[in-house]
Structure formats: structure tokens, C-alpha cells
Amino acid sequence: MDVATRLRPAPDAAHAPAHARAGDTLEQFPPNAGMGWADHDLPHPPGRRRVLGDAFRKGMDPTQPVQNMLRLGVGLGPIFEMLALGRKFVFASGVDLVGELCDDKRFTKTLAPGVQDLRMFVGDGLFTAETDEPNWRLAHDLLMPAFSKSAMRGYHDVMVDAANELIGVWDKAAGEGRTVDVSPWLTKLTLETIARAAFSHTFGSFATEEVDPFVTTFVGDMSHAAARSNVAALPLVGRRRVRRKDQVALARHGYIDGLLRQIVADREASGQRHEDLLGRMMHEPVDDSGALLEAQNVRHQILTMLVAGHETTSGAVSFALYHLTREPEILARVRAELDEVLGSDPAVDPTFEQVPKLRYLRRVVDETLRLWPTAPGFARSPRETTTIGADGSAGVPGGLRMTPQDKVLVFIPLLHRDPDVWPDPERFDPDRFLPEHNRARPAHAYKPFGTGERACIGRQFALHESVIVLAKLLHRFDLTPEPGYELTITERLTLMPVGFRVGLTRRS
């Protein structure tokens, strides 16, 4: 029985995904016009200009909006706005106000501008769907058990085996005295891990130093989505330029759509019923009628898992290694814990039961995600018109009126740097996450995985994998960063260090 008869049919042409109707993407997915809030003037950086607004200032890189916002948002208060080419964007970073916005009874996830533009590639996948879209609830409820803490036991060996393959490559580099570029290799590792664990698919990532076309293609997709609305707002030529860029991006994305179809077709042709995420999506009913996920939505979810399951985790592990190579005392504590829990053999594999015992290493991961949440924001809208900050937490007496048409982006890097919650916030200190400090902090002061029912479904997977990878690499190698390197971060809806190379020495 083929895929078409086993899964719900794809939507008709009127509701087909953008890549099926490349000629009218501006009509299907109009560039984001801003975040509402027409009735309010909120704090903003000084020096606003008539046309450009607060954007495109001297010294600002338009490809680095998160890092720009980190600089410009300091001191503006718990909620502030930025104007860019006539579009208003509103950010919240005060812990009390964020706590209010995280109340799922009053507020729900909405799509941040870049995420909204990403729908032209990912459709109603878990990350890009609106909460009231039926496929989000169906897929979320179907897949949630596969990402529980207990489910990690089934993925553990896959994570360890993939990490060992990377170590084989780095061992060779160590023997030849070569440095390695950290982030691209970790991206290979995390892509390979999620593909094997979730879809029993391999990209053959360690056979070559070349980056897989899947990665380069989707990085292009994310970069296009991140810049699309800005380009569309340019006077005179903006929308025509976006239409041309849409067509180029969608043609390029055809490679990914073909890959996703092949993954499903290969599974169907094999006749095997793997107990992985793809198996659940293809064979588990989503309601009492016995219906299965739509074929198109299965592809959307595969793509969502592949991207979200590797891009953010590789960035987090890369940032962690960057900080550890600059903090010898912290690294020494990590090594002491590894030797205590895993023993003196640097080639030993951590067991599933040992991973939770690496408590200090887990705090290193938590502190890394505090400073560099690789998914740096999430957007919220009220379910109905309401007032936020009535207790004064918005910095306005009586609070601010917010309608369902208004969006606010919770800006996590500033939330995680609030000096009233995080003393000396730029200092890398894993002991901030000792149990007694966790209990003392406001509940919503730390949000690297989003919030509520729309929080990252793969949180446990990412944390378990991050601890394993760091444990294996740090137990096996001494890492020496290239002299003179200063942290450089690329932004493509996620954050990732670039150009971070290390020398490797095998530990005996």
C-alpha cells in the first residue's frame, strides 16, 4: 500500500504549500507588517530617524538584529519598541512582565516576524503553526510521548554512537596536528543524531568535511525568512525584489522537499515499522476515527524536527565549548566530575544512568543557554483584549492595553541578563543553577526553550544530547582555541558561533 492511500490526502491546490505555488508567495505569505501597538508609544533608543526609524544605525549590522538589540535595548525598561522602515516591533524583557505574558490562560504563542515568513518552507510544522491550527494539536499530542524524559533511554545509544564517529574524525585531526572548525562539525553531529534517532535515516555526515546540501539549503531558507520583511519594506523596489527572492528560495527548497518525500517513500517501501518518530507519524492514529497525519504535514514535521533538532543544539554545544576553553577553573571542575563519574578511561561511553549524575556539566549547559539562548525569542498575543503590567511591571501606571492583534516578542537574551535576577550577568557561572539558586529565582526568569504548551517539544532530547556530546569531547580531548579569536556570532533565526577553531590533544 503506497503513501498516498495510507495517509490523508494533501490539501487541494487552493491550500497547497508555498513551494507548490511559487508564483504567488506574496499573496499567500505577505511580508510581516509589524506587531501592532498602534495606540502606544513605548520607550525606544534615542536618535530615531524619520524613515529608517531606530534601525540601520551607524555601526549596526542589519544581519545581526539580536546582537543589535542586546546593545540598544539595555536600559530601555521592561518593554520597548523599535521602528524599522515604518514597522513597529515590541520587545519584553522584564521578568515580572514576561511572567504575565507566559500565562497560557490569557496569552498564546503567535508567530514572530521571521518565523511567520518561514512558513513558506515549513508550513504548519510544530514550530511554525498557530496554536489554533488543527495539525498543530494533532502532531503535538502524537509526538509528545516520544520526547518525554523517560523516552531518552531509547535514543541514548544513537547519541553516543554518533558522538563516537565525530571523535574518530577529531582523533585523526589530533594525530595530524590540525585544528578543527567547531560549529560545522557539531552541526554534522546533531543533524546525524536527530536523523538517525527520529527517522532511522543517515546523512553520512562524517564521510566528508563538506557540509550536507540539506544544511546549506535550509540555512539559505532561514536567512531568506529572516530578511524577507525588511527587504519588502524598502521603498519602491522592495516587494518586487522579495518576489524574485521568493522564487529563487522556493526553487532551491525543492531539493529539501524531494529529500523529505524520499525519506517517507523509502520507509514505506521497506515494509518495516520502526518505533521512531516517523513510524509514529505514519502509523499512529491521531483521533478516534483512525485517521493519520496528512502526508504533507508528515513532511512538515520531519523538516521541523531535522532543523530544530540540530541547529539549536549544535549552537549551544559550540557556545559551551567556547566558554569552557576560556574558563580553566570551570573546565577543571567539569573534568574532575567526568573522571569521578565515568572513570579514568577517556574512551569510555557514558551510560544512560550516568548522564543525570553529570550535574555540574548540566549546569554548564544551562549557563550557556542563559547567555546564548540559541532560539533567542518567542512571541505572545492575548487571547482577548487585556491590560498588561497593571501592577506597574510595564513601567506605565495602570498598565498597557493589548489587543489580540498586538504581538510582543519576549527577548530572551535581555531577560537572561536582568541584573536584578542575574548578578554580574555577563560572567559565565554555572553555579547560578545550583538548586538553591533555582528555587530563589522568579519562575519565568529563565526561558531558553519557550513557554507553556508551545515550549520546545524536544527540550529533553537537546539537553540529554548536549551533556553526552560535551562529556565525550571533554573526557577525550584537551581543546586549545586559536590565539586571538573573538566570539563571532551568525544569526539565521538561531544563534551560532562562527570561525571558532580549536587544536586537539588526546587525553591519556
DSSP tag of 458: T
Evaluate whether 11 touches 295 at the Cβ level (below 8 Å).
no
pTM for the structure as a whole: 0.92
Query: Each residue of 354-367: pLDDT tens digit?
Result: 999 999 999 999 99
pLDDT at 4: 31
pLDDT at 233: 66
- Please pick, among 193, 456, 477, 500, the residue that the annotation labels catalytic: 456
Query: Is 80 exceeded by the pLDDT of residue 328?
Result: yes
- Residue with the bigger pLDDT between 222 and 157: it is 157
Distance CA 437, CA 258 (A): 48
Angle CA(51)–CA(53)–CA(59) in degrees, nearest 5? 110
The candidate with the shortest Cα–Cα distance to 110, out of 96, 89, 95, is 89
- Please pick, among 107, 127, 449, 477, the residue that the annotation labels catalytic: 449
Q: What's the N-to-C CA distance of the chain in angstroms? A: 55
Confidence of residue 59 (pLDDT cuts 50, 70, 90): confident
Confidence of residue 274 (pLDDT cuts 50, 70, 90): confident
Query: Is 90 exceeded by the pLDDT of residue 323?
Result: yes
Query: Is 70 exceeded by the pLDDT of residue 168?
Result: yes
Q: Which long-range contacts (CB under 8 A, 24 or more apart) does 220-225 make?
A: 220/249, 220/252, 221/118, 221/121, 221/249, 221/252, 221/253, 221/256, 222/114, 222/118, 222/307, 222/492, 222/493, 222/494, 223/492, 224/117, 224/249, 225/114, 225/115, 225/117, 225/118, 225/120, 225/121, 225/493
- Please pick, among 190, 304, 312, 451, the residue that the annotation labels catalytic: 312
Q: Which of 228-232, 233-237, 401-405 has the lowest mean pLDDT?
A: 233-237
- The answer to whether residue 403 is catalytic is no
* Concatenated DSSP letters of 162-185: HHHHHHHHHHHHHHTT--EEHHHH
The candidate with the shortest Cα–Cα distance to 481, out of 331, 363, 346, 345, is 331
**Counting every residue, how long is the chain?**
508
Evaluate whether 228 touches 306 at the Cβ level (below 8 Å).
no
- The answer to whether residue 312 is catalytic is yes
